[in-house]
Structures are given as C-alpha cells and as structure tokens.
C-alpha cells in the first residue's frame, strides 16, 4: 500500500519466520471495523459513496460551523451585555469549530485508518514465538477498545437525543429556548428560529460520531500501541532467555533471526505511533485551547444571570462541564497510556541487551544496539507537536482554566 501519513505496510523477512508455528488466522482489527461502520452512517467513509452521500458528508461538518453564525451576529450587533457573556460566546464558537474540525479530520484520515488496519494485521505473523501470551494481550485490548468505542458513541447519542427532544418541545410551546446566543430578531422570527432548529438537529445527528467516535478512537489506538509494546517486551524476553555464554553457533543464528524480528516489530510500533500522531496531534492542540474557555463558561453564565437560576441552567452547566472535562481527560489519559507502555518497552530492551552476543556476531550486535537506542527514545502523543499529552498536562490546563475564570470574574 502507498505511504499514507507516514505509514506503510511492512514486509517481514521470510527467514525471521522460518520454523515458527502456524500463524493464527485472527487479526485484531474489530475496533477499526466499528469505526468504519459509524463513519459510513454519516457518509464520512470514502468507499461506496454516491454523489448525494458525498454532498451530505460536507453538509454535516458545516452544520457545526453554521451553529456559530447566530453567535457571531449576536456579538456584531452589540447585544452582549458584558465581558462574561463575551467569554461564553467565545467558548461556544470554539466548541462548534472544534466539532466541525473533528468531523473533517475523520474524513481526511479515512485512508490513514485503512493504513492502520494493515499495520495491525502485519503484527500477527511476528507474534508466533509468543503466540499464547500475545493472544491473551491482543484479545483483552480488542475487547476493551470495542467496548470503549461503543460506550463513547452511545453516551453522546443519548445526549444528542435529549437535546433534540428539548428543542422539539420548545418549538411546540412556541418558546424560543435555544442553547446558544442569537440575535433577538432571529429568535422572535418563526421561520428563522425553525431554520436554526433544523440545522441544530442535523448537527446533533453527526455529534455522536464527530465527538464520541473521535475521542474513542484515540483511546483505541493508544491501547493498541501499548499492547504491542508489551508484546514486544515478551518477544525480547523470549529472544534472550538462554544465557549468552552458553549459546552455540546454531543457536546464535536463531538468536539473530529473533533479534531481526524484534527490530521489524519495533518499526511497526513506530509506524503505528506516527499514524496515531498524524490523526490526533492538531486536534489535541485545539482541544487544549477550547478547554481553557469551556470549563468555566457555565459558571460565568450562571453568575451573570440577573434572575433566579433555574434547574435547567444547572443541568445544562453540569453536562457542559462534564463534556469538556471528559474530552480533555480522554486525550491526556490516552497519551499517558502510550508514554508508560513506551517506558516499559525501553526498560525491557535495556535488560535484554547482552554485550557478549555483540562480540560473537557483529551484525547481531548492531541489531541489538539499534533496538536499544530506538527504545530509549520514548513515544508520546503530542498536542501540535508542542507538548506531550500526559496527565500532568491535564492538571496544568485545569489550573490555568481556573486562573482564567478568576480573571474574568474580576473584570465583571
């Protein structure tokens, strides 16, 4: 397959598999099958689309962007009351833009997802030496990935359905209740208000995929990367199980084949990491900036209300905060999973190094040195290649969001 986003199919040398037991038939790509199935639901998967579906695939992302237009007009007309409301407007605009961006990223990286599937399939033949242990790790990873993906999408689907119900009730009661700010004449003009409701309904149809699937996918690819790092640690342990001083010439040749297999397997992990990085890096940076505004926005709105705060305001604020919190936590926790697995692999490669083997076989020594040197450079998922996604970053953003919240309150 052609190179896509820094990924390519790896051909495993035949001599690395010589004498190995038969490869298992199963490949662990069920989570990616779930991704493809949901992308087809919103016409975001490039295969098998007709002209109408292709046009609809552009309408869905732009429906997110269009939801920010009423806020822009609201701000341009000067109907906002103070700085607190302005910060809320900025947060809503950033949230809508982020949803639109995620939807376009899913469409853009459909080819990268297909490349990731080939990379995962390429791991299977190289796991024959530790097939029993690798199968357990892979099955656990697959079950967990599929479960997380489906739960993310279902959770956001429930949220979308509830929002649609509230909007329909508002239309029936002739109450222009809307979750975003809009100019007064747009809210009081029935056709314009109904048009906004229709656009919001289209947006909510794609919302579970654009947000739930995207956030679940970073968790999925991080779990697969961590799983493969753990499998490679087992392969390295298997490759150097015998004492180096007792290995004969024939065993030394077999040891060379195993070490070459480890080098190829490690290269596959690096390619999987690069593919994940190409999909999530830019969005993660945007997610950081949005969280700085999004976490405090509901509190700004409630404190700025002149009338009594109603239960629906509290419910909306709680959902808004949880949504923003979970998105940021998902990105940072997924990056933390990859970082810790990479650290475990680095330690395993260091422990597996045998200088005596390097002296007996120069080529084997080079392979060992290459594996150790590459493993010492840890793998991280990054936000725009500026900072590493870890739980420490999550804590820093939470603190900065609180500081911004305090600053805006002083500006009231």
Query: Would you state the pLDDT for residue 253?
Result: 62
Averaged pLDDT, 355-364:
57
Q: Of the ranges 20-29, 59-68, 264-273, 392-401, which one carries the lowest mean pLDDT score? A: 20-29
Position with higher pLDDT, 11 vs 382: 382
- The mean pLDDT of 197-207, rounded to a whole number, is 83
pLDDT at 195 over 60: yes
Say what the pLDDT of residue 291 is: 79
Q: Which residue has the tokens 């500026």?
A: 386
- Give 388's strand partners: 382
- Alpha-carbon gap, residue 180 to 80, rounded angstroms: 12
Given a cut of 70, is residue 81 above it in pLDDT?
no
Distance CA 292, CA 370 (A): 41
pLDDT tier at 12 (50, 70, 90 boundaries)? very low
390 against 367, higher pLDDT: 390
Binned at pLDDT 50, 70 and 90, residue 74 comes out as confident
As beta bridge partners, residue 383 has 387
Helix (H, G, I), strand (E, B) or coil at 88: helix
pLDDT score, position 5: 44
Sign of CA dihedral 90, 213, 156, 53: positive
Q: pLDDT for 212-234, tens place per residue?
A: 899 899 999 999 999 998 888 88
Kind and range of the H or E element at 262? helix 249-294
* pLDDT for res 19: 42
Confidence of residue 336 (pLDDT cuts 50, 70, 90): very high
Phi-psi region of 384 (alpha: psi -120 to 50; beta: other; left: phi over 0): left
**pLDDT of res. 406:** 67
Q: What percent of the chain has pLDDT over 70?
A: 74
Q: Is the pLDDT of residue 320 over 50?
A: yes
**147: its two tokens:** 């479960």
In the block, tokens 């949005």 appear at 290
Residue 13 has pLDDT above 50, yes or no: no
Question: Is the pLDDT confidence value at 208 over 80?
Answer: yes
More confidently predicted of 128 and 310? 128
Residue 312 confidence (pLDDT) above 90: no
pLDDT at 404 exceeding the cut of 80: no
pLDDT of residue 323 exceeding 60, the answer is yes
Count of residues in the chain: 412
Tell me the C-alpha distance between 235 and 16, whole Å: 13
Which range, 66-80, 119-133, 141-155, 280-294, is most confident? 141-155
More confident residue, 117 or 89: 117
Sign, CA dihedral 157-159-160-166, equals positive
* Per-residue pLDDT reduced to its tens digit, 131-188: 788 888 888 999 999 999 999 999 889 888 888 888 787 777 776 655 556 777 777 7
* Residue 386 binned pLDDT confidence (cut-offs 50, 70, 90): confident
Q: Give the residue-averaged pLDDT of 309-327.
A: 73
In this predicted structure, what is the pLDDT of residue 266? 86
In contact, 296 and 401? CB cutoff 8 Å: yes
Kindly calculate the radius of gyration of the chain based on its CA atoms and give it in whole angstroms: 26
> In sequence order, what are the residues at sequence separation of 6 or more whose Cβ sits closer than 8 angstroms to the Cβ of residue 206?
42, 60, 61, 63, 64, 103
Most confident of 94-98, 310-314, 357-361, 369-373: 94-98
Between 50 and 115, where is the model more confident? 115
Q: How many CA atoms lie within 13 A of 120 on its CB side?
A: 27
Block residue for tokens 């029935």? 190
Distance CA 284, CA 218 (A): 10
């Amino acid at each position: 397959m052609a190179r896509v986003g820094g990924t390519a199919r790896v051909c495993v040398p035949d001599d690395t598999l010589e004498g190995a037991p038969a490869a298992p038939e199963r490949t662990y790509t069920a989570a990616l099958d779930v991704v493809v199935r949901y992308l087809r639901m919103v016409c975001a998967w490039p295969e098998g689309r007709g002209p109408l579906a292709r046009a609809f695939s552009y309408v869905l992302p732009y429906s997110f962007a269009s939801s920010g237009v009423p806020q822009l007009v609201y701000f341009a007309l000067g109907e906002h009351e103070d700085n607190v409301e302005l910060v809320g407007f900025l947060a809503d605009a950033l949230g809508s833009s982020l949803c639109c961006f995620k939807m376009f990223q899913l469409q853009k990286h459909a080819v990268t997802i297909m490349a990731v599937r080939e990379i995962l399939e390429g791991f299977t033949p190289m796991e024959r030496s530790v097939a029993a242990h690798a199968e357990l790790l892979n099955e656990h990873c697959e079950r967990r990935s599929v479960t997380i993906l489906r739960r993310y999408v279902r959770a956001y689907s429930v949220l979308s359905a509830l929002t649609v119900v509230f909007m329909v009730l508002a239309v029936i009661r002739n109450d222009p209740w809307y979750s975003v700010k809009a100019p007064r004449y747009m809210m009081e003009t029935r056709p314009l208000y109904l048009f906004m409701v229709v656009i919001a309904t289209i947006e909510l149809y794609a919302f579970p995929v654009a947000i739930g699937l995207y956030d679940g996918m970073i968790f999925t690819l991080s779990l697969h990367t961590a799983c493969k790092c753990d499998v490679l640690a087992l392969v390295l342990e298997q490759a150097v199980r015998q004492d180096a001083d007792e290995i004969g010439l024939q065993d030394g040749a077999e040891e060379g084949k195993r070490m070459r297999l480890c080098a190829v397997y490690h290269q596959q992990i690096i390619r999987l990491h690069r593919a994940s990085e190409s999909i999530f890096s830019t969005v993660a940076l945007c997610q950081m900036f949005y969280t700085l505004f999004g976490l405090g926005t509901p509190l700004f709105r409630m404190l700025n209300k002149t009338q009594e705060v109603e239960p629906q305001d509290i419910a909306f604020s709680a959902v808004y905060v949880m949504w923003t919190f979970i998105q940021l936590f998902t990105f940072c926790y997924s990056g933390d999973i990859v970082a810790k697995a990479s650290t475990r692999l680095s330690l395993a490669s260091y422990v597996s190094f045998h200088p005596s083997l390097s002296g007996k076989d120069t080529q084997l020594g080079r392979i060992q040195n290459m594996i150790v040197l590459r493993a010492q450079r840890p793998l991280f998922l990054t936000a725009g290649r500026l900072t590493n996604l870890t739980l420490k970053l999550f804590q820093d953003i939470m603190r900065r969001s609180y500081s911004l919240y305090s600053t805006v309150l002083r500006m009231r």
